[in-house]
Structure 1
Amino acid sequence: MDEEALRDFMPTAFGSSNPDDVLEAQMEKARRPGFEKKFKAAAPDQEDDDDDDDGDDDSDSSSGDSDDMDDSGYPVSHDVVFKTHDRAVTSIALDTAGARMITGSTDCTLKFHDFASMAPNTIRAFKSIDPTATKNSATSETHPIHQVSFNPFSGNQVLVVTATPQARVISRDGETEYETVKGDMYLRDMNMTKGHVSEITSGAWSPLISDQFVTAGTDSTLRIWDLNLRSKQKEIIVHKSRQAGAAGRSRMTAVAWGNSPEGSSSLLVAAALDGALLIWPGQGPYHRPSAEVKDAHKPDTWTSGIDISSDGRLIVTRGGDDTIKTWDTRKFKAPINTVVHLSTSQQYPTSNVIFAPNTSAILAGSQEGSLYILNPATLRPALVTPVTPSSPLTVVQWHPKLNQIITGSANAETHLLFSPNNSSKGAVSILSRLPKRRHIDDDATLTTDHDSLGVSGDAILNPGTSSEAIQASTYASRHPTIGLTASGKSRDPRRPHVPLQTPFSKSQPSEDHINRRVAFSDMRNEDPREALLRYADKAVQDPMFTKAWSKTQPKTVYQSISDDEDGGVRKKRKT
């Protein structure tokens, strides 16, 4: 064992390595435990012994296990890990082409990842933003990210739902393009408000209209928004719960918008805290649900996940009562199948459940950190594989074009599961590149992209620049939200503008110039009290405003009595 360990540790050759060998080693390093290749070499004296039943069975079983692991249709044999967040990952979104990934977390930030610019040694986010931060506020509050989703019609718009009453639509580069209106929290009738009055829990894009999306809030409403209408929501759906008493309100926990079985219309499905599961036609009317199950899940438990199959015939829900249920939209009265599955919605209310792109499987994370791939017909596990042991798996996604499964965990890790034989681009393209060269002085924690010299390509350096200035320029160019611009303004919108130490800005004239050219400009340095007392004697001798009173002022008719006469002035007794 010691010789084998030493042989594995020592290099097999010196000098420049073959790029093909490096790429193959990278791919093998990404292979997950339990999916190792198994080879069974036949001994020379047993090559002709083909009729041995035991040998054939063993050979078939070993090779069959390896083939089934890699080519079973589930891309889970290899893994690439992203450690870009500080807290639990709550939402993952990929654009239609699969070129960019955005992740949200309870650390209140969105991380932008571009697969085309990554290498095995530069797996990190190229941008991080706080969508709730305002540009003019220095002490703006931050809120956890509930949901992030790309517009299915275009990869240039992203719906962001945070723990606020307002949802936002940002560009793929993080610029805010649309923000929903906040409603009046003092109005009792939710039909009269122009927006949500409390926290939004979930959102979804319309599958038929590119400019519309829906949000679900804790104010017992679903609101449909149009990007062309900014003053208020386009449609409002108020859920009146019978279990909520006179108020009739129940928090809406999750919403999904998918295709209907007919194909020409859509379905709007939502779950409430009172255990109800409701369906509306995607194009209306929204006065009352077309189908409703009152006790779909246990009341007062958080139904965190809802998804609609691609054909619109099945609905899967994940409730806070530790169950996963499937429903038929054509016979929406009782669940088709129910399976016990421990819920993580109590700690992570955005834990989801999804259908595979071809509705061949159902994916969900577990409390112990395993990925469950269930059979949609029976809800029995087709595959259970650990991803982040001892850390809950909070969110899962399956991209149809990349054929890769993306998972987010409570330990702030994002995993890209793939198979070299069945997956394309994404994590496969990352491991298909050679590691980028780094300079010996380059800090990997401060940069996101490197050239052969370790200096940013967009940094302009003058001849004779010191190494400290080069590092500062590289750091500032890689972190556009840190530091000051050339004009002295902060790049961070949450950080207030820091004025210069002098009383005048750079664009204003100097103090000497103002004292010479502007009359009475030196009065700012004088004491106001002393300046007024300077004219006290002149005001008495030659009053300017009260001079007329010296002739017209009447004489005093009151008799002046001293305190010694008659014992002084007596005070009037109180009656």
Structure 2
Amino acid sequence: MEDSAPKKNADKKARVFDLQSMMAQALSNAPKAPDAEPSPQFNTPSKTTSESGLSSSAASDDDDDFMPVLPPGFGKPDDEAGPSTFQAIDNDNDDSDFDETEAVSIIKLIPAACEATIIHGTQAISALRVEPPGVRFASGGLDYYVKLYDFQKMDMSLRYDKELLPAESHVINSLAFSPNGETLVVASGEAIIRLLDRAGKQWSETVRGDQYIVDLNITKGHTATVNCVEFNPLNKSEFISCSDDGSLRIWSLDDHKVITKCINKHRKVIKTKGAHGKRVSPQVCTYSPDGKWIAAGCDDGSIQAWKYGSQYVNVNYLVRKAHNGSITSIAFSPDSKRLLSRGFDDTLKMWSLDNPKQPMLVKTGLENAFKNTDCGFSPRAELVFTGTSSPNKNVPGSLQFFDPMTFDLVYKIDYPGASCHRIQWHPRLNQIIVGLSNGTVHVYYDQTISQRGVMTCVTRPLKRNRASEVVREDMVLSPLTLEMFQPRGEEGEEKEVTGWRIKKFLRMQDNKLRPEFRKPADMPINGKSANGRVAASGGSLHSYLAKQIGTARNAEFLKDTDVRASILKHAKDAEENPLYIDKAYRKTQPNKIFQATTVEPEDEDDEELQPVFKMPRTK
């Protein structure tokens, strides 16, 4: 280096750094790789077998994409990459050992620790649905009634909030809430679908189709009983319905007309056909959770599905002989890759959308006597459930849960003397609502894994009517001391305020209106007519002459003011020259004979007043 003797500022030079020499010195002083401390390791969440199958090279490639190259000593040695891969496989083996005891703990996923019973009526429950937010649920029965239950208003009595009769004397077949819970769609035995608001009032309906038109595409609505309705899970204004007329129709709430209060036409029509091209009636219909499929179960035992948004002409998924009888329910799995079906042949089947030729699993011996017996998956597809009917008093109906991989029975709830056919497992509340054939609704919940819902109702005390809350009208003994009878300086108020105000109060009580204002006299007419009124006589020469002639002829008659005198003036002339009755009796009865008594006496019978009857003819 240069000499560091003190120099003048003008002679000083800037310091020069040799970067290459400094880098070489830093590398020589750096610790060797074997002596470096290992970098800290973080435990990641356990992965499934498919995720653990990723190669270590792929992981290293991902690291290279997001991180620069580390200096020596900060990377993982190559000899440690192999043991970590085997360790992940060992962890997977440990998971397989855990699967052996999984059957014991899977029962804990069923929220059936507690039960609440709600009475709908005496007839069977034919429709049951919980709104997506989980605040309310609705039940419909064979008694034509729809009852709305609000968890926020119910107390320990578990009484319904509203009782509706939307379709008069038609059985309720299906109910559906919109995704936001604002609209309730009611499908009944008639061809019209009713739309109700949160208050239970009907605000719209679908049009009834013309039953004499053969082509279903031309008819604007259903022409027969509506069996099922379902809302699109991704579109709050769209729902689908199926009917015995052999069609599925897609409707939109945006087509509602305010003037007619009706949805005048459907958006799309889907026809269901049998093996020979004939019409078959769809009994159930549903959307897939991802909204990409529309499926229907028909009365000939076939399952037909279409991709959403297509032309709906050709079927994209068809199982012609899925069941030997009519299909009562179909349900998609949460991943929209499997389909569950329930039929009148007492079977439960699971299908794959990739293979329609044969079912994945089949469960037999499940009694089914109702056309709307439900089946479905648990919210996370850990279980499969369905209901069974009670053929006689000795065999009870039941709610059964199965393993979705093997269809082995996991849990069962019996109902002696009743059939279980309507089931709803709400994912947000994690509560199971079951409708039975005896008109009762059972709600199952678990205080550890369930939320809100009926749990808030069973602990809420009953509402009691208090005496202070009753409105009653007391007798007023001294009305003159009331505030309404005190002077207020009103217009027209008399000196004796009390009497004046009492009369006013009585008029108000009797609903007596004040006398109407008298209409002022009409203004004189200058011309022939004005404001619909004709001018008086004399406005023209003809009317003037007619008035003068009439007045001259009847001058004497107009002068007479005594009516009696004017009549007696003609009495003598009438007696001498009779015109009517007297002329006939002048020769036969010149002397007039009048009746002596005109009123019947009270005690004595007057024979003269008795009517003279004709003698009956003898021949």
Confirm or deny a common fold (TM above 0.5): yes
Note if 1:463 corresponds to 2:474: yes
Q: How does 1:476-491 map to 2 (within 5 A)?
A: none
**What does residue 29 of structure 1 align with?**
none
Offset, 1:507: 9.8
The residue correspondences of 1:431-510 to structure 2 (distance < 5 A) are 431-433=458-460, 435-436=461-462, 450-453=463-466, 460-463=471-474
Instruction: Tell me the distance in 1 between the aligned counterparts of 2:221 and 2:245.
Output: 10
Cα contact 1:243–1:274 (8 A) shared by 2: no
| Structure 1 residues 427 and 192: CA distance shift in structure 2, 3 A | same
Q: Counterpart of 2:421? A: 394
Residue pair 1:118, 1:430 contacting (<8 A) in 2 also? yes
Q: Any residues of structure 2 matched to 1:363-442 within 5 Å, and which?
A: 363-367=385-389, 368-386=396-414, 388-433=415-460, 435-436=461-462
State whether residues 119 and 431 of structure 1, in contact with CA within 8 Å, keep that contact through their aligned partners in structure 2.
yes
More RCO (CA 8 Å, sep 6+): 1
Looking at structure 1, the residues matched to 229 and 128 of structure 2 have their Cα atoms a distance apart, in angstroms, of 13
SS state at 2:184 partner: strand
Alignment of 1:299-314 (within 5 A): 301-314=325-338
Deviation at 1:88, TM superposition (A): 0.6
Write out per-residue CA displacement over residues 395-436 of structure 1, whole angstroms, 9 at most, x where no aligned residue. Answer: 111111111111010010100111111112122112233x32
Superposition TM-score, scaled by structure 2 size: 0.56
Corresponding residue number in structure 2 for 1:107: 143
SS of equivalent residue, structure 2 residue 166:
coil
Partner of 1:157: 183
The answer to whether structure 1 residue 249 and structure 2 residue 279 are counterparts is yes
Shift of 1:128: 0.4
Aligned to 2:211: 185
Instruction: Name the residue aligned to 1:93.
Output: 129
Tell me the equivalent position of 1:200.
226
Match of 1:319? 343
1:97 to partner: Cα distance = 2.5
Equivalent pair of 1:181/1:195 in contact (CA under 8 Å): yes
**Distance (Å, rounded) in 2 between the aligned partners of 1:303 and 1:454:** 56
Match of 1:130 in 2: 165
Question: Do the aligned partners of 2:275 and 2:320 also contact (CA within 8 Å) in 1?
Answer: no
> Structure 1: which 4+ aligned runs deviate by more than 4 Å?
68-71, 506-509
Identity of aligned residues (%): 25
SS of residue paired to 1:116:
coil
Question: Structure 1: where are the runs of 5+ without partners?
Answer: 1-67, 134-141, 437-449, 466-505, 510-540, 542-575
- Verify: 1:351 aligned to 2:377, yes or no: no
Residue type matched to 1:217 in 2? S
Q: Secondary structure at the match of 2:305?
A: strand
State whether structure 2 residue 171 is matched by structure 1 residue 144: yes
Q: CA deviation at 1:106?
A: 0.8
Contact (CA 8 Å) 1:89, 1:395: kept in 2 or not? yes
SS at match of 2:186: strand
Q: Residue 272 of structure 2 corresponds to which residue in structure 1?
A: 239
Partner of 2:507: none
Give, in angstroms, the shift of residue 253 of structure 1.
1.0
Query: Please, what TM-score do these two structures have when normalized by structure 1?
Result: 0.60
Q: Measured at CA, do residues 186 and 180 of structure 1 come closer, stay the same or move farther in structure 2, by a change above 3 Å?
A: same
Q: Say which of 195, 220, 223 aligns to 1:169.
A: 195
Alpha carbons 1:70, 1:419 under 8 Å: kept: no
Larger-gyration structure (1/2): 2
Distance in 2 of aligned mates of 1:170 and 1:311:
31
Cα deviation for residue 240 of structure 1 reads: 2.4
Question: Letter of the aligned partner of 1:254 in structure 2?
Answer: V
Distance in 1 of aligned mates of 2:511 and 2:114: 58
Paired residue for 1:334?
A: 358
Please, which of 382, 405, 408 is the counterpart of residue 360 of structure 1? Answer: 382
Q: 1:97 and 1:144 mapped to 2: Cα distance?
A: 27
Judged with a 3 Å threshold, the aligned counterparts in structure 2 of structure 1 residues 419 and 180 are, in CA distance, closer, same or farther, namely same
Confirm or deny that 1:295 pairs with 2:295: no
Deviation at 1:69, TM superposition (A): 8.9
Q: 1:370 offset after TM fit, Å?
A: 1.3
What does the per-residue CA deviation read over 1:476-510, in whole Å, with 9 as the maximum and x for residues that have no partner?
xxxxxxxxxxxxxxxxxxxxxxxxxxxxxx9999x
User: What do residues 94-117 of structure 1 show as CA deviations (whole Å, max 9, x unaligned)?
Assistant: 222222121111111011111222
Cα distance between partner residues in 1 of 2:381 and 2:125: 25
CA shift in 2, pair 1:231/1:297, >3 Å: same
Q: What SS class does the counterpart of residue 72 from structure 1 fall into?
A: helix
For 2:187 and 2:441, how far apart are their aligned partners in 1? 19
Q: Secondary structure at the match of 2:455?
A: helix
CA contact (8 A) 2:154 2:161 kept: no
CA distance in 1 between partners of 2:308 and 2:511 (Å)? 57
d(CA) in 1 for partners of 2:196, 2:351 = 34
Residue identity in the other structure for 1:384:
K
Residue aligned with 1:427, SS: helix
Contact 1:90-1:351 within 8 A present in 2 as well: no
CA distance in 2, matches of 1:295, 1:274: 8
Trace 1:11-160 onto structure 2 (pairs within 5 A): 72-120=108-156, 122-133=157-168, 142-152=169-179, 154-160=180-186
Distance 1:257 1:271 in 2: 12
Asked if 2 retains the 8 angstrom alpha-carbon contact of 1:71 and 1:421, the reply is no
Distance 1:406 1:84 in 2: 13
Change (3 A) 1:71 1:334: closer
Quote the offset at 1:161 in angstroms: 1.0
Structure 2: runs of 5 or more not aligned: 1-103, 256-262, 390-395, 477-509, 514-578, 580-619
**Matched residue of 2:372: which SS?**
coil
